[in-house]
Amino acid sequence: MARRSTAGAVWWILVLASAGLLAPPRAGAVPAYARQTGQACVACHVSFPELTPYGRLFKLSGYTIGTRQTLPFAVMAQAGVTQVKDNRDDEGNEVVPKTGSVQFSAASLFLAGKVNDHVGGFVQWTYDNLNVNAEGNTVGHSGIDNTDLRVVGRIENAAKTDVQWLYGMTLHNNPTVQDVWNSTPAFGFPYTAPPNGIGPAAATTIDGGLAQQVAGLGAYVFWNRTWYAELAGYRTADGVFSWLRKGQDTHTPGGVARLAGTNPYLRLAYNREWGPHSLMLGGYGLRVNRYPDNTLPGTPTDRYTDLAVDAQYQYITDPHTVTSQITYIHEKQDYRASYPATSAGSPIGAGPTPANARDTLRTFKWKGSYYYEHTYGGTLAWFATHGTTDAGLYAPGSVGGSASGSPNSTGYIVELDYAPIQYLRVMLQYTAFTRFNGGNRNYDGAGRNARDNNMLFLNLWVAF
Amino acid sequence: MRKSIFLLATALFATAAAAAESADEAAEKLATQVCTACHGPGGVSTSPQFPRLAAQPAPYLVAQIKAFRANTRGEPEAHDYMLGMVTLIDDATAEALGRYFARQAPAPGTPGDAKRVAQGRQVFEHGIAERGIAACATCHGAHAEGNTIFPRLAGQHAAYLVKQLKAIQSRLRQSPVMHGIIKDLTPAEMDALAAYLQSLG
């Protein structure tokens, strides 16, 4: 039965994609920024959301190029079907819900565009149709998604041939969402993944750990299209900034991250373009003081220090495009609050229960893509996370646990993309794990192997 | 009476001059803050996706802006990148942009394969008589520097030149005079011409 509905699902998605082929190639309806500039999506994007050099300048210019629209809205939606290699745990329970049949996964509404030549940005609101609530039921849920609002200025060079200083401020709610090279976590590959998909237990804080939970205020400067520097501060999005995390569960212990004070972020990048090539070499860092339990803000805080290097290369011509991004994040976890409390036998609420006073966690990500005529694309990605063995943090447990107490997880992603028209993309994505939560075979202590978590994901993404 | 006409004429001239000046300021701002994002500092683009505009004759540039508006430049990039941009450009700004780019310094040429460059130079300067292909230099200038409505080709990206020649051949880009001249050019001849022109400064 499941096989028939999967085949039917695949057929359904391919029919829809073919319908896109029959649509007039240069239809009028395009997303908000395309409407504002009158340009096609390919002007700014290699393939949404990866940015071209012009797309980077558009974003750094505060999204202010073009003519302000009366209705600065855009919508996007995704539907797909997920298959997990072994979707039953050791007790026969389903691991990932709603697999094997086509599911409408999410829809977003964007308010996006320029206010004037100096102010612009976007606010994204997402309805997650496959949200799993605390009781384990799939109940649709909506909330704010990535948001980036900017004020910008420009100083031309003396010869009046170019902007020499492009500078601005950004208010956003996800560290690195403001970055313009798709090598940092927020807009890094993969750009979409199986809903409720199985993922390793450990990830560095900057790798999505604070998304839509913080208010970030940053100041940046881009000099001569060559040197980029940014300094930002992140605070928990409460009080006047609480709209930046609207929809998050702030009442349940462990529902959101809660930070103390203002937490610094620094980003430096060297950018160079020549012929059809562009290259970026850079680094970024974030240090946060985090309450072990977000519902207990009176306690001491743990400290996480993330230092990272990254690079991007793009070769953009007609008809061939080749791109690659790479990043390496090193996190120092200082459990200066959680460790003493755990050692004394009384952990702080729902906070971490480390066996060590200090741990490190390191994540390496690489991705390479090829696109032909902005239409047919393939991507290969490699990810590897390694860290200190800590049985207190990574305990045995079916599917999500670790028998060895190690967070080490490695794997790769292979993705094929087809975009017959600019506002529709069909994607086939395969995620494979060679190591999961510290092991290859029986990694969780309940007999599960790393490859049992492999996922095949067919997805349709539309944007207007 | 003559004095009042003179004063009126002076006032009109001053108003026109002031208007032109502000159109030039607006064009300079647009050029440095928007156009250079793709066409490069001073109109010298790095990527062959985007043509170099530096030292283009102003009448040619203005004619292209009008062609984008009228959709007579039907190649995909014209639609994908430029159709929307021309909504930012009214006639006065278009004229001013023409003046801005015309006075920018052109980039030095990029040397290419010697054999192809020599072959391209031969076609550019002498045409191909036996196939009735006129010498490009006749309209585009002895050094491909351009002339009024005929664009500067010297120093232009070779890949861009080939793309335009093909667009004109296929009539995606509506240019009847050019089409008549180059309709029989082979891809190899286009490559040679482009290599020669890219090498010129």
What domains can you pick out in chain B, each with its CATH number?
A: 114-199 (1.10.760.10)
Find out whether the peptide bond into A49 is cis, omega within 30 degrees of 0: yes
A274: chain B residues, CB-CB within 8 Å: 46
**Which residues 6+ apart lie within 8 Å of B170 measured at CB?**
none
| Interval B161-188 mean pLDDT | 95
B80: chain A residues, CB-CB within 8 Å: 39-40, 42-43
Check if the beta carbon of residue B89 is closer than 8 Å to that of residue B30: yes
Cα A400 from Cα A200, distance rounded (Å): 7
The answer to whether A42 contacts B80, with C-beta atoms less than 8 Å apart, is: yes
- Between these two residues, A17 and A191, which has the higher pLDDT value? A191
Mean per-residue pLDDT of chain B:
92
Question: Residue A292 pLDDT more than 50?
Answer: yes
Residues in chain B whose Cβ is within 8 Å of chain A: 28, 32-34, 36-38, 40-43, 46-49, 77, 79-81, 83-88, 104, 159, 163
A27: chain B residues, CB-CB within 8 Å: none
CA A97 from chain centre, in angstroms, equals 22
Instruction: State the nearest Cα–Cα gap between B46 and chain A, in angstroms.
Output: 5
Q: Closest to A40 (Cβ–Cβ): which among B48, B80, B88? A: B80
Cα A438 from Cα A436, distance rounded (Å): 5
ipTM: 0.89
Question: Residue B17 pLDDT more than 80?
Answer: no
| Interval A54-75 mean pLDDT | 94
Report helix angle B114-126 to B187-199, nearest 10: 100
Question: Residue A23 pLDDT more than 60?
Answer: no
Q: What is the DSSP string of A338-374?
A: HHHHHHTT---TTS---SSSEEEEEEEEEEEEEEETT
Q: Extract the tokens encoding A260.
A: 């103390």
Q: Closest to B46 (Cβ–Cβ): which among A38, A154, A274? A: A274
**Which residues 6+ apart lie within 8 Å of B73 measured at CB?**
B64, B67, B82, B167, B173, B174
Q: Closest to A162 (Cβ–Cβ): which among B36, B38, B159? A: B36
Cα A148 from Cα A121, distance rounded (Å): 5
For chain A, the residue count is 464
Q: Closest to A39 (Cβ–Cβ): which among B40, B80, B163? A: B80
Instruction: List, for residues A342-368, the tens digit of each pLDDT value.
Output: 999 999 999 999 999 999 999 999 999
Give the pLDDT confidence score for residue B30 in this predicted structure. Answer: 94
Check if the beta carbon of residue A358 is closer than 8 Å to that of residue A332: yes
| Interval A8-26 mean pLDDT | 47
pLDDT band at B4 (very low <50, low <70, confident <90, very high): confident
B87: chain A residues, CB-CB within 8 Å: 38, 67
Q: Extract the tokens encoding A37.
A: 């500039």
Give the pLDDT confidence score for residue B16 in this predicted structure. Answer: 65
Q: Which class for A345: exposed (0-12), middle (13-18), buried (19 or more C-beta within 10 A)?
A: exposed
- Quote the longest CA-to-CA distance of chain A: 72
The answer to whether B48 contacts A317, with C-beta atoms less than 8 Å apart, is: yes
Instruction: List, for residues B95-132, the tens digit of each pLDDT value.
Output: 999 999 999 999 889 999 999 999 999 999 999 999 99
Q: What is the DSSP string of A234-295?
A: EEES-GGGGGGGTTS--SSTTSS--B-S-EEEEEEEEEEEETTEEEEEEEEEEEEEE-SSTT
The answer to whether B37 contacts A156, with C-beta atoms less than 8 Å apart, is: no
Give the pLDDT confidence score for residue A255 in this predicted structure. Answer: 87
The answer to whether B36 contacts A161, with C-beta atoms less than 8 Å apart, is: yes
Cα A255 from Cα A277, distance rounded (Å): 43
Our CA angle for A373, A377, A380, nearest 5°, is 145
| Interval B163-180 mean pLDDT | 95
Q: Which residue of A has its CA nearest to B54?
A: A161
Residue ranges making up the domain that contains A12: 2-21+29-463
Give the pLDDT confidence score for residue A83 in this predicted structure. Answer: 98
Check if the beta carbon of residue B167 is closer than 8 Å to that of residue B159: no
Question: Residue A24 pLDDT more than 50?
Answer: no
Query: Which is it for strands A141-156 and A119-128: parallel, antiparallel or unpaired?
Result: antiparallel
Phi, then psi, of A209 in degrees rounded to 5: -70, -20
Give the pLDDT confidence score for residue A217 in this predicted structure. Answer: 98
> How far lies B80's CA from each of A25, A31, A37, A41, A372, in Å?
12, 13, 10, 8, 17
The answer to whether A275 contacts B87, with C-beta atoms less than 8 Å apart, is: no
Q: Extract the tokens encoding A372.
A: 């032909």
A67 touches chain B (CB under 8 A): yes
Cα B36 from Cα B26, distance rounded (Å): 14
Q: Closest to A160 (Cβ–Cβ): which among B32, B48, B83? A: B32
Give the pLDDT confidence score for residue B11 in this predicted structure. Answer: 75
Cα A387 from Cα A183, distance rounded (Å): 21
Cα A55 from Cα A325, distance rounded (Å): 16
Cα A300 from Cα A88, distance rounded (Å): 40
Give the pLDDT confidence score for residue B12 in this predicted structure. Answer: 76
- Count up the domains in chain A and report the number: 1
Instruction: State the nearest Cα–Cα gap between A49 and chain B, in angstroms.
Output: 17
Q: Which residue of B has its CA nearest to A65?
A: B34
Our CA angle for A337, A342, A343, nearest 5°, is 105
The answer to whether B36 contacts A154, with C-beta atoms less than 8 Å apart, is: no
Specify the CATH number for the domain of residue A426.
2.40.160.10
Q: Which residue of B has its CA nearest to A117?
A: B33
The answer to whether A317 contacts B159, with C-beta atoms less than 8 Å apart, is: yes
Q: Which residue of B has its CA nearest to A159?
A: B42
Instruction: State the nearest Cα–Cα gap between B40 and chain A, in angstroms.
Output: 8
Which of the 8 DSSP states describes residue A319? Answer: S
